[in-house]
């Protein structure tokens, strides 16, 4: 059940990104950095909630990667103020890596090859 909610959250994050991009291109007076800041905020909330749902089910490598993605999203907010010319390209790159990884893990989970290894008990 948690894995289905996780897949729904990833689909929701993709829909939110497309919705904000449509808002930017159709009629918003906002600039691209403002829209990407909204996207980063939404993605941070979605990634934290998805990580909380499946951190005990997916392997440790998945948890480490997702923590890295969340940290990179927070770092991008700092880059926005320090190096504004790099903000949009780095944000697009990070979002692409995140979405590719989300779809990779969802497909691997459906095939049954993405599970946490059970460790023997030590006394």
pLDDT tens for 7-29 read 777 788 888 888 877 877 787 67
Which pLDDT value is given to residue 74? Answer: 94
Residue ranges, the chain, pLDDT below 70: 1-3, 28, 113-123
pLDDT at position 110 is 74
Listed residue (47, 44, 65) closest to 10, CA to CA: 47
For 1-123, list the strands marked E by DSSP: none
**Of 43, 59, 34, which is closest to residue 99 (Cα–Cα)?**
43
Report residue 37 as tokens: 């800041």
Longest dimension (CA), the chain: 64
Q: What is the pLDDT of residue 1?
A: 62
Please tell me whether the overall predicted TM-score, pTM, comes out greater than 0.85 for this model: no
Query: pLDDT value at position 67?
Result: 92
What 8-state DSSP symbol labels residue 25?
H
Nearest to 15 by CA among 49, 61, 46, 37: 46
- Helix 60-82, helix 32-54: angle, nearest 10: 160
């Amino acid at each position: 059940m948690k894995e289905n909610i996780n897949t729904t959250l990833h689909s929701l994050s993709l829909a939110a990104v497309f919705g904000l991009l449509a808002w930017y291109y159709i009629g918003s007076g906002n600039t691209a950095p403002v829209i990407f800041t909204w996207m980063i905020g939404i993605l941070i909330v979605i990634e934290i909630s998805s990580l909380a749902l499946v951190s005990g089910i997916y392997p440790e490598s998945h948890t480490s990667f997702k923590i890295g993605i969340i940290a990179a999203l927070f770092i991008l907010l700092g880059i926005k103020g320090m190096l504004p010319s790099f903000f949009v390209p780095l944000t697009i790159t990070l979002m692409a890596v995140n979405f590719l990884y989300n779809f990779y893990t969802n497909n691997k989970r459906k095939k049954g090859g993405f599970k946490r290894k059970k460790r023997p008990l030590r006394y």
